[in-house]
Amino acid sequence: MSLLRSSLVLVQAFCNQIAFTPPNKTPAKWRYHTEEASVLQIAPLIFKGHTIILWLSAAYEVLSTFHYFCGSLFSTQLSSHVNSVLCPAQCTQHLVTPVSLLGVVMAALGMFIRVRCFHELGHLFTFDLTMYPEHKLVTSGFYKYVRHPVYTGSLLLVAGIAFSHLTPGSWVNECGILGPFSSALLGAMWWVWALSVGVSRAYAEDGELRKLSASEWDAYAAEVKFWFVPALL
């Protein structure tokens, strides 16, 4: 067991909570792209659910570590019962690996990017796509480098969480909740879904922003060609 790992998964859970907490409420009107496929349109709800799951996973890791170090304080029967609940596979190798550490760094960076985007757009930013009458094209901050950096942050967070919670050394893997193949498959499907959400919304946002001022948008799009990663995506 690792106290460092328990601390890091808590840090990651906090980063995720901050990044996926809406900075503003979605107004009753001015929404668009409502024809998006349901599996993509419910992204805010999905991310709310994954936030809950991440906190539960982090709590299990912390409780497992606490039990490992303090289990001797309880009776043998109680200790055995708690251990079987926390870790069905009876494995105690919850470790900080280079991959899990990379995942924490990616999650922190993703959170930072999203929060900076919240600040750049101010009240214009909502989790559901909305076009206010006073909407304007924002080209400062991370928007100087890619057109949709908030989704860059999302992709970093999802990948980082998968690296930390779906790889060897994690509670999910070491306690037999998921095997290596199923963990990798779940992580890949999760990231591809997040990418699909970003691509769908990027197309829609580009179209709506161009309606504000075609000349201004065309000049911006000519200078900032990529959606999520400079010179790549």
Each residue's pLDDT tens digit, 161-183: 999 989 888 878 877 778 889 99
What does pTM read for this prediction? 0.88
The architecture (CATH level 2) of 3-223 comes to Up-down Bundle (1.20)
**Are 150 and 114 contacting, i.e. CB atoms less than 8 angstroms apart?**
yes
Amino acid in the structure at residue 90: Q
C-alpha closest to that of 149 among 13, 42, 12, 19: 19
- Quote the DSSP letter at residue 122: G
Please write down the HEC assignment for all residues of 178-229: CCHHHHHHHHHHHHHHHHHHHHHHHHHHHHHHHHHCHHHHHHHHHHCCCCCC
pLDDT tens sequence across 181-191: 999 999 999 99
Q: How many CB atoms lie within 10 A of CB 78?
A: 11
Q: Is residue 56 predicted with pLDDT exceeding 80?
A: yes
pLDDT tens sequence across 106-119: 999 999 999 999 99
